[in-house]
Structure 1
Amino acid sequence: MNVVDLALVSATLTASAPVVFAALGGLLCQTAGVFNMALEGQLLWGAFSGVLFSHLTGSAWLGVVGAVVTTAVYALALSVPAVAFRADPVVVAVGVNLLALGLTAFLMRVLLGAGGVYTSPDLPGLPTFAKLGLDVPVLGPQSPLVPLAPLLVAVTAWWLARTRSGLRLRGVGGHPEAALSLGLGADRYRHVAVLGAGALCGLGGAQLALGNVTLFSEGMSAGRGWVAVVAVMLGGAWPWPVLAACLLFGAAEAFGFRLQGLGLPQQAADAAPYVITLLALVVAAATRGRRRLLEAS
C-alpha cells in the first residue's frame, strides 16, 4: 500500500478546502483590523444551512447559495457588536461560536427532525468533476468548490496588492488614523470584511457538509475554524502563507487517515492534524522571538 500518491494529494485538497475558505475570511478581517475568532461558529452555521437548504430545495447548489447568504447574515452577530459598538471581538466571537453550536443542534431537531446526525438518501450533495463528465487527475473526485478555494486565494492576493479598494482595506487595518484623515470610512470597510468572511465561511461549511460528505452532524466543524484562525496567525495575514498553512493541516489530516489503514489507532490519526498545527504555531512563535532578539542585538 503506497502511503504517498495522487490519492493522498486529492485527499489533502478535500480536507483543506473548508479551512482555506474560513482562513481567507479571517485574513480579510485581520487585514481590516478585526481579529475574527468566530470562524468556527460561522463554519458550523454554513454547514448546517447548506444541508438545510439542500434538503428544502432538492438542489445542492441552492444549498451553497443558502449557506453563503445566511452565514453572511449570521456574521452580523460579530460585526455589529465588535465594529459598531466597539465590543471586545474576542469575547463576542466566543459567544458567536457557542451560539452556533447550540442553535444548530436545536434547529436540526426542529427543522430536520433528527438529533446528532442528519443524513438521507434524498439529500443532494455537490457533484464531483467525475460525475460532471470531467476526468481531471487529482480533481476528479472533488467538487468544483475545492479548486475554487486556492483560486480565491490568488484573486485575494492580487486584489489586496493591486486594487484601490484592496489597498484601502489594508490601510484601514494597518494605519486607521491615516485612513480616517483621508476620509475613508473605517467601520464600513470592517463591516464589509466581517460579512465577506461570513460568506466565505458559508462556502467552507457547504463544502464540508455537501462536498466532503453529504450529512450534517452536531459540531461537525470539529475545530477547523480554530485551525483557520491559527493559519491566519501563521501566515501573517498574507494570502499565500495562509494557504500553505491550511494545506499543511489538510495534508496532516489526509495522512492520518491513510495511516489508519496501516494500523494507526483512530484517536491518534484524528489528533495528528491538530498536533501538527500546534507544533507549527510554536515553531513560528519561536522563530519570530529569535528574530526579535537578533534585531535587538
Structure 2
Amino acid sequence: MNVLDPAFAASVLTATAPVVLAALGGLICSVSGVFNMALEGTLLWGAFVAVVASHLTGSAWWGVAAAVVAGVLYSAVLSVLTVTLRADAVVVAVGLNLLALGLTAFLMREILGVGGTYTSPDLRGLPTLAAALGRVPLLGPVLGPQSPLVPVAFALVVAAAWWLRRTRSGLRLRGAGQHPEAAASLGLRVAAYRHGAVMAAGALCGLAGAQLALGNVTLFSEGMSAGRGWVAVVAVMLGGVRPYRVAAACLLFGVAEALGFRLQGAGLPQQLADAAPYLITLVALVLAASAGRRRRAGGGVVIARKDRGGR
C-alpha cells in the first residue's frame, strides 16, 4: 500500500477541505469570544440546501450560493440566542445540531421524495480543476481532481491568519473576545463583532456543506456530515486561535480518513476504517490536553521555586 502517491495526497485534500472550512468558522467565533459548537448542524444544513438548490436550478454554483445563505440564516438563530439573549451557548448549539439532523431528514422526503440517500444523474456537482491543472507536473494529479473550493479553503486559512494579525478589524475582533469590557469602554461594539463572527462561521459552514455534498461526492445522505463538524470543534480546541495550527489539526483528520479508505481496500473491516479518523482525532485531543496540563504544572513549579528563592 503506497501512501506517498499523488492519489493519496489528493484524497487527503478532499477529506480535509470541508473540515477546514468549518473549523475556520469555529476559529473566528472563538476569537470573538463565542464558542460555537453548532458547526456540525450548520454544515449538514448547508449540504442539504446545496443539493436541493442544485437539483432545482441545475447549477452547482447556485447550490453553493444557496448553501452559504442558508448557513448564515441558520447561524443567525445561534447568534440571536447566545449573543443578544445570552442563552447558554452549549445548550443552543446541541439543539441546533439535533434540529438539523431531523429537519434535513424530514425535508428530504418532502422536497426530494426519497429517504436515506438522494442521488441523480441530473444532479450537478462542482467542476474539477482537471481542465486547468491536469497536465501540470506534480500539481496536476493532486489538484486536478479537486473542486475549486478545495484551494479556496486553504487560501482562506492564509487569509484568516493575515487578517487576524495585520488588519484593524481583525485586531478589534480579538479585542472583543479577549477583553470585552475594555473594548466596550473604548467604544467598540462587542455584540456587533460577535454577531458578525457567528454569521461568518455560518457562511463558511455553508461552503463546507456544499463542498461535502457537491465536491467530495454528488449526493445527499441523511447525517452525511458524519461528525465532521465535531472534528472541526476539536480542531479549534487543538489549534486555539491560530489558523495554521487549526488547519494542521484538520489535516490530521484528512490523513486519517484517506488512510482509512486505503486500509479498507487492503482488507480492514469497514467499521474500523470509518472509525479511524475520529479515533486519531480523539487521541490527539487527549495528548494535547495532557501536554497543556504538564506545561501549567511546570509553570507552577517554576513560580514556587522563584518564591522560595525570594524569601
Q: TM-score range by the shorter chain?
A: over 0.9
Residue 165 of structure 2 aligns with an amino acid whose one-letter code is A
Paired amino acid for 2:149: L
Question: Any runs of at least 4 consecutive aligned residues in structure 1 with deviations exceeding 6 A, and if so which?
Answer: none
Q: In structure 2, how many angstroms separate the alpha carbons of the residues matched to 1:180 and 1:7?
A: 51
Retained in 2: the 8 A contact 1:44–1:220?
A: yes
User: Equivalent residue for 1:65?
Assistant: 65
- Please state how far the C-alpha of 1:132 moved relative to its aligned partner: 5.4
Unaligned stretches of 5+ in structure 1? none
Equivalent residue, structure 1, for 2:51: 51
Give the greater-gyration-radius structure (CA): 2
2:259 is aligned, of 236, 255, 258, to: 255
Q: Which amino acid aligns with 1:125?
A: G
1: CA distance, partners of 2:3 / 2:292: 34
The amino acid across from 1:276 in the alignment is I
Q: What letter corresponds to residue 197 of structure 1 in structure 2?
A: A
1:200 corresponds to: 204
1:32-62 CA-partner distances (Å, limit 9, x unpaired)? 0000000000000010000011011100011
Q: Which residue of 2 aligns with 1:172?
A: 176
Q: In the alignment, is the contact (CA less than 8 A) between 1:108 and 1:115 conserved in 2?
A: yes
Counterpart of 2:186 (choices 182, 186, 201) is 182
Who is 2:158 aligned against? Answer: 154
Aligned to 1:2: 2
Deviates more, 1:123-132 or 1:144-153: 123-132
Cα offsets for 1:141-177 (capped at 9, x unmatched): 0001011111001000000000000000000000101
| Paired-residue identity, % | 71
Residue of structure 1 equivalent to 2:125: 125
Matched, 1:138 2:105: no
Question: Which residue of structure 1 aligns with residue 236 of structure 2?
Answer: 232
Deviations along 1:91-111, one digit per CA (max 9) or x if unpaired, are 000010011001111111111
Conserved? CA contact 1:3–1:259, under 8 Å = no
- TM-score of the pair, normalised by structure 1: 0.98
Whichever structure has more helix as a proportion of its residues is 2
For 1:3 and 1:86, locate their aligned partners in 2 and report how far apart those are by CA, in whole Å. Answer: 48
Moved more, 46-55 or 3-12: 3-12
Q: Could you state the TM-score of these two structures normalised by the residue count of structure 2? A: 0.94
TM superposition shift of 1:249: 0.2
2:35 matched residue in structure 1: 35
Shift of 1:3: 3.3
In structure 2, the partner of 1:15 is 15
Flag structure 2 segments of 5+ consecutive residues without an equivalent.
302-311
> In structure 1, what is the equivalent of residue 289 of structure 2?
285
Deviation at 1:77, TM superposition (A): 1.5
2: CA distance between counterparts of 1:242 and 1:39?
15
Is the partner of 2:233 in helix, strand or coil?
helix
Check 1:133–1:9 CA distance in 2 against 1; reply closer, same or farther (3 A cut): closer
Offset at residue 199 of structure 1 (A): 0.3
| 1:75 counterpart SS class | helix
Q: Distance in 1 between matches of 2:160 and 2:85?
A: 28
- Matched residue pairs, number? 297
Q: Which residue of 2 aligns with 1:275?
A: 279
Q: CA deviation at 1:137?
A: 3.4
- What is the identity, as a one-letter code, of the residue corresponding to 2:277? P
Aligned partner of 2:305 in structure 1 is: none
Give the SS at the match of 2:34: coil
Q: Partner of 2:110 in structure 1?
A: 110
Q: CA deviation at 1:133?
A: 6.7
One-letter amino acid of the structure 2 residue matched with residue 247 of structure 1: L
Amino acid at match of 2:11: A
